[in-house]
Amino acid sequence: MKNVIREIGFLYLNSVALIREFVANSFIFLNAYIFTYLC
C-alpha cells in the first residue's frame, strides 16, 4: 500500500512540475507577444 501512495505522490509531483513549466512558458510567450505588439 505504501508503494501505491509513493507512486501517486511521484506522479502528482511530476504533473505539478509539468504544469508549472507550461505556465512559465506560456507567460514568457505572452510577454513576448505583448512586447512586440506594443513596440
Give the tens place of pLDDT for each residue, 3-37.
Answer: 999 999 999 999 999 999 999 999 999 999 999 99
Residue 1 has a pLDDT of: 78
Alpha carbon distances (Å) from 10 to 14, 22, 31, 35? 6, 18, 32, 37
Residue 38 has a pLDDT of: 87
Residue 39 has a pLDDT of: 76
Residue 14 has a pLDDT of: 96
Instruction: Say which DSSP state 38 is in.
Output: H
Q: What is the pTM of this model?
A: 0.59
Residue 29 has a pLDDT of: 94
- Cell numbers for 13: 509531483
